[in-house]
Amino acid sequence: MANYVLKLYITGHSSSSRVALRNISSICDANFSGDYDLEVIDILQNPQLAEDNKIIATPTLVKEQPSPLRKIIGDLSDREKVLSGLGFVKIKQDTFTNIGSNPNKG
DSSP 105: -
* Measured torsion, CA atoms of residues 24, 40, 50, 19, in degrees rounded to the nearest 10: 40
pLDDT at 33: 81
pLDDT surpasses 60 at 105? no
Q: Who wins on pLDDT, 32 or 15?
A: 15
More confident: 26 or 104: 26
How distant is the alpha carbon of residue 65 from its chain centre? 10
pLDDT of residue 70: 94
At 34-89, the pLDDT tens digits run: 889 999 999 999 999 999 999 999 999 999 999 999 999 999 999 999 999 888 76
Assess contact for 40 and 11: CB atoms under 8 A. no
Closest residue by Cα to residue 65 from 95, 98, 16, 91: 98
Domains and CATH numbers, the chain: 4-98 (3.40.30.10)
Q: What's the pLDDT at 106?
A: 42
Q: What residues does 73 pair with on adjacent strands?
A: 60
CA pair distance 79, 56, nearest whole angstrom: 22
Query: What's the average model confidence in pLDDT over 78-106?
Result: 67
